[in-house]
Amino acid sequence: MSNSNECQRFLHWALPRLGLRREGYKKVRRQVCKRIQARIGELHLSGFSAYRDYIEDNPGEWNTLDAFTRITISRFFRDYLSWQVLGDEVLPVLATKAHKEQRALRCWSAGCASGEEAYSLALVWHHRMSEKVPRQRIEIIATDIDEHMLQRAARACYTGGCIKDVPLPVKKRSFRKREGLYCLDRRICDMVSFLRQDIRHAMPEGPFDLVFCKNLVGMYFKREKAVELFREITGRLTVGGIILTGKHEPFPLEDLPHMTTYSRGLCMYIKSIPNS
């Protein structure tokens, strides 16, 4: 049996025990398998069956395996059309509401990886909104479980591939090339606060006007856990607040009566009534 088939059988056994959704790993299975194979080598084990036995004898290894399942694919302005809609429609409405209520506009990027999503929002605000609503404050909180990713976010220097979708005028004004990387202007970096949190156990305090939860909860967690987490996340939204999810992950709208669809094609949902 090939290593690929062995790994697939191993994941079929392991992922449900971690509370994870097998379907979410179809396109990234190879990446996860490489990590597990490296771990098998570190432990000098003969293969995936031996690693399964090792886990059953050493329950603490589940935490190590859980870390191998984290997928950190991101880039600036990913799903570019959604950013256009945010800048043209969503942010102006949310900013006006926050201004009337004399408070900061509060935003959260969940599973932020190395910060591209949160910094994209900061760029949109700085380049498109700050002149329209000069007195309006914005607070952007970004969370992730991976300390290494958060350290990369703090450095805020990226490869050309990560910034390929950044509009050229924004790129020229807000990035500086240094040692082959594109480093973000510190004024933009200072707009974002990063926290290390595992969304399964902790979330930042709400309320939030805008939440990004893309390719995370619906993609990787089993339905029961996903519904539980989405209830907590959307419970932190203001009435009229928006959540964005990933294009290929299910969102349990039928289990969230306080939420309605804002844009099905862009996977945006709006909180229409307070939580009961």
Q: Per the structure block, which two tokens stand in for 61?
A: 């290894």
Residue 223 sits in the same domain as residue 131: yes
Distance CA 171, CA 10 (A): 44
Residue 34 sits in the same domain as residue 129: no
Residue 251 sits in the same domain as residue 169: yes
Residue 229 sits in the same domain as residue 161: yes
Range of the domain at 28: 3-68
Angstrom distances, CA of residue 118 to CA of 51, 111, 112, 191 = 37, 10, 7, 9
Overall domain count for the chain: 2
Among candidate residues 68, 90, 117, the one where a domain is terminated: 68
Maximum distance among all Cα pairs of the chain, rounded to whole angstroms: 64
Judge whether 175 lies within some domain: yes
Distance CA 220, CA 73 (A): 13
Do residues 20 and 69 make contact, with C-beta atoms less than 8 angstroms apart?
yes
Judge whether 276 lies within some domain: no
As a dihedral over the C-alpha atoms of residue 163, residue 166, residue 172, residue 177, rounded to 10 degrees, the angle is 0
* pLDDT reported for residue 1: 46
pTM for this predicted structure: 0.92
* pLDDT reported for residue 242: 98
Residue 255 sits in the same domain as residue 167: yes
pLDDT digits (tens, 9 = 90+) for 235-268: 999 999 999 999 989 999 999 999 999 999 999 9
pLDDT digits (tens, 9 = 90+) for 102-127: 999 999 999 999 999 999 999 999 99
Judge whether 73 lies within some domain: no
